[in-house]
Amino acid sequence: MPQGSLEKCLYLSNYILDIFQRLDIMIDVASALEYLHFGYSTPIIHCDLKPSNVLLDDNMVAHLSDFGMAKPLLEEDQSLTQTQTLATIGYMAPEYGSEGRVSTNGDVYSFGIMLMEIFTRTKPTDEIFSGEMTLKRWVNDLLPISVMEVVDANLLSQEDEHFTTK
């Protein structure tokens, strides 16, 4: 894809995605997941949702890629137990990492982690997250106190009338 991966665009120092681009990209990803989970008679689970697996075209439209770990959901209870866990650390749902349980809920969890990463510009595997501290906990703990401590500073410009640092 012409613009490369979302990860590349998000972390390049000479390129800044604005809040509306990030929101549009995440809406594209949510639409792709909705199609995978509900667009077929058999739901497809991506199993490795992360910014490097989201590719951007010339118009900054997001396309989900890398279906190497994708699984069809064939069981009636809408979950499948895998014997081998291959998803990416930091993005996988706890039940997938601990039990090998694959479900649409796991993709939704990964989407939530990716959503936090996109708007904080902080990877879930960042060195600040150790022990019990995770991206999810960090956002949950700091967001009620100060949005400015959590959100990517590049999203808020001095000229933006919709956001203030007060």
77 part of a folded domain = yes
pLDDT score recorded for residue 166: 47
Alpha-carbon distance of 164 to 108, in angstroms, equals 31
Query: What is the CB-side half-sphere exposure of residue 17 using CA atoms within 13 A?
Result: 28
Q: Please, are residues 93 and 105 in contact by the beta-carbon 8 Å criterion?
A: yes
- DSSP line for 67-88: -TT-EE--STTS-EE-SS--SP
Spatial distance between the Cα atoms of 16 and 112, rounded to a whole number of angstroms: 21
Which amino acid, residue 151? V
What's the total number of domains in the chain? 1
Rounded CA-CA distance 136/161 in Å is 29
Indicate whether 161 belongs to any domain. Answer: no
14 domain residue, yes or no = yes
Residue 158 counted as domain residue = no
Q: Give percent above pLDDT 90 in the chain.
A: 52
Report the pLDDT value the prediction gives residue 32, as an integer from 0 to 100: 96
Three-class SS of residue 3? coil
For the cut 70, the answer to whether the pLDDT of residue 154 exceeds it is yes
CATH code of the domain containing 109? 1.10.510.10
Q: Which of 34-43, 50-59, 65-74 has the lowest mean pLDDT?
A: 65-74
How is residue 61 written in tokens? Answer: 């439209």
Give catalytic residues, as residue numbers.
48
Question: Could you give phi then psi for residue 114, rounded to 5 degrees?
Answer: -65, -40
Query: Residue 42: CB partners within 8 Å, gap ≥ 6?
Result: 72, 73, 74
In a domain, residue 159? The reply is: no
Residue 47 near residue 106, CB atoms below 8 Å: yes
Tell me the per-residue pLDDT of 79-138, one tens digit each, with 9 for 90 and over: 555 545 566 888 888 876 666 677 888 899 999 999 999 999 999 999 999 888 999 999
Domain annotation covers residue 166: no
Q: What is the pTM of this model?
A: 0.84
- pLDDT 10s digits, 1-37: 888 999 999 998 778 899 999 999 999 999 999 999 9
Give the domain range for residue 149: 4-153
Write the Ramachandran bin of 100: left for phi over 0, alpha for psi from -120 to 50, otherwise beta.
left
Looking at residue 86, its pLDDT comes to 61
27 in a domain, yes or no? yes
Examine the pLDDT at 65 and tell me if it is beyond 70. yes
Domain membership of residue 116 (yes or no) is yes
